[in-house]
């Protein structure tokens, strides 16, 4: 057995050092957005250029002759996501015309005037809608926010706290069938079936639900950082 000298300097394992090039992609995305240098779309574009540079010139996992095959694989995966988003957007438009979210909210308010019961009902509604629609239509098209905000403020919930509740709910919906865009992307990249992916995710669904309950009923989790900054 080989003994390591006591004075040997500590250093990162070689796989960790190699992974730093790829991990820097997250620094570009989050750092660019949080610093205000890039918008979310611009940071994604810069991250793609960086990932292409790292793959072709540093890791050298692919040759230039493999580029058409990579583009074909990327377009195929992207087409799956865009079709899902298109149908989710159309479905959201129909729901808005039929005023379904508003009717569901009114139904919840008639069930109870208890703050915690209403929050639980809103969680169930957001989880259900998140599994049927993409996050972007639910937030950007303003289906839920103007409907739920008066309800939330009426029961004394901080808008920042409600924003975190909504994001966690809709984030869970992104990996939940039948629409979950991230679920389909992961299955396409991993070349596994949706059924096997969902089975593997079952323990994580339980953990995510516990996190959702903690975020919902412990406001300090969402509000401690804004209170420090502001």
Do the beta carbons of residue 172 and residue 166 sit within 8 Å? Answer: no
d(CA 130, CA 165): 12
Q: Quick one: how far is CA 55 from the chain centroid?
A: 25
Give per-residue pLDDT as tens, 117-144: 888 888 888 888 778 776 766 665 446 6
Q: Quick one: how far is CA 87 from the chain centroid?
A: 19
Encoding tokens for residue 110? 């008639």
Encoding tokens for residue 153? 């403020």
Number of H helices and E strands in the chain, helices first, is 11, 0
Looking at the predicted structure, is the pLDDT value of residue 215 above 90? yes
Do the beta carbons of residue 85 and residue 181 sit within 8 Å? Answer: yes
pTM, 2 dp? 0.63
The size of the chain, in residues, is 230
Do the beta carbons of residue 170 and residue 182 sit within 8 Å? Answer: no
Do the beta carbons of residue 105 and residue 151 sit within 8 Å? Answer: yes
26-35, 83-92, 104-113 — which one is most confidently predicted on average? Answer: 26-35
Q: Give the pLDDT of residue 57.
A: 87
Q: Which of 44, 82, 73, 89 is nearest to 181 (CA)?
A: 82
């Amino acid at each position: 057995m080989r003994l390591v000298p006591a004075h040997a300097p500590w250093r990162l394992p070689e796989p960790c050092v190699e992974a730093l090039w790829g991990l820097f992609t997250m620094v570009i995305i989050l750092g660019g957005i949080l610093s205000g240098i890039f918008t979310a779309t611009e940071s994604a574009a810069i991250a793609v250029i960086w990932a292409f540079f790292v793959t072709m010139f540093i890791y050298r996992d692919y040759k230039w002759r493999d580029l058409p095959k990579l583009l074909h694989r990327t377009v195929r995966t992207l087409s799956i996501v865009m079709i899902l988003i298109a149908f989710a957007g159309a479905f959201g438009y129909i729901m808005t015309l039929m005023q379904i979210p508003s009717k569901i909210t009114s139904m919840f308010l008639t069930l109870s005037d208890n703050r915690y019961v209403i929050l639980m009902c809103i969680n169930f509604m957001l989880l259900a809608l998140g599994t049927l629609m993409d996050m972007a239509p639910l937030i950007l098209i303003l289906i839920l926010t103007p409907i739920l905000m008066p309800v939330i403020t009426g029961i004394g919930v901080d808008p920042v706290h409600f924003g975190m509740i909504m994001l966690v709910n809709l984030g869970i919906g992104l990996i939940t069938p039948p629409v979950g865009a991230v679920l389909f992307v992961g299955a396409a990249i991993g070349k596994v079936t949706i059924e096997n992916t969902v089975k593997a995710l079952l323990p994580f669904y339980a953990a995510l639900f516990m996190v959702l309950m903690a975020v919902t009923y412990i406001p300090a989790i969402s509000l401690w950082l804004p209170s420090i900054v502001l």
